[in-house]
Amino acid sequence: MFLRIDGWESNLRFSAAHFIPSHDKCSRLHGHDYAVSVTVYGDQEKEFLIDFLELKNIINRVIAQMDHRVLVPSRPGLLEYTMDDVSCTVSYGHKKMVFSKEDVFLLDAQSSSSEEMSSYIGQRIAESLRKYPKIRRLETCIEEGPGMGACAEISINHE
């Protein structure tokens, strides 16, 4: 049994600015309207696998943190950043950008590619789904526009 929520149809969307240091065109600061679609797999008992509204709330809590912010990957590798009380300075290649700290979301990933973002968002959702014993795994897809995105599959660890 699986249950699916479409991010465009169900308004699970957010807007954010990002840059991909290793990519020619995408290394320039630009933005997307993102949509997050989620499929959860598990064993249905009684009526529900999970209430749609509860799942939507879980997804919204994760994506609301990124909405209308600049996504700065915080894992080392492709760029460097420093934070002080008011600003975040990002540098890669010959570029240097300074953002207001409150406008930045530090993304726990090496890149803000769709692949890495689907994995990051999926992991955050998975943490909240641990208390649902019937759910075994989920698929999280993020799209940078309708029909263009990446999906991550994550098993739920119930401990």
Annotated catalytic residue: which of 26, 115, 127, 151? 26
Are 118 and 111 in contact, with CB atoms under 8 Å apart? no
Dihedral sign, Cα of residue 64, residue 65, residue 70, residue 74: negative
CB-based contacts of 61, cutoff 8 Å, min separation 6: 128
Annotated catalytic residue, options 54, 68, 80, 153: 68
Calpha distance 115→102 (Å, rounded): 25
**Which residue is catalytic, options 127, 139, 144, 151?**
144
Q: 116: helix, coil or strand?
A: helix
Name the CA dihedral angle for 103, 107, 110, 114, rounded to a multiple of 10 degrees. -100
Catalytic residue list contains 26: yes
The reply to whether 144 belongs to the active site is yes
Catalytically annotated residues: 26, 68, 144
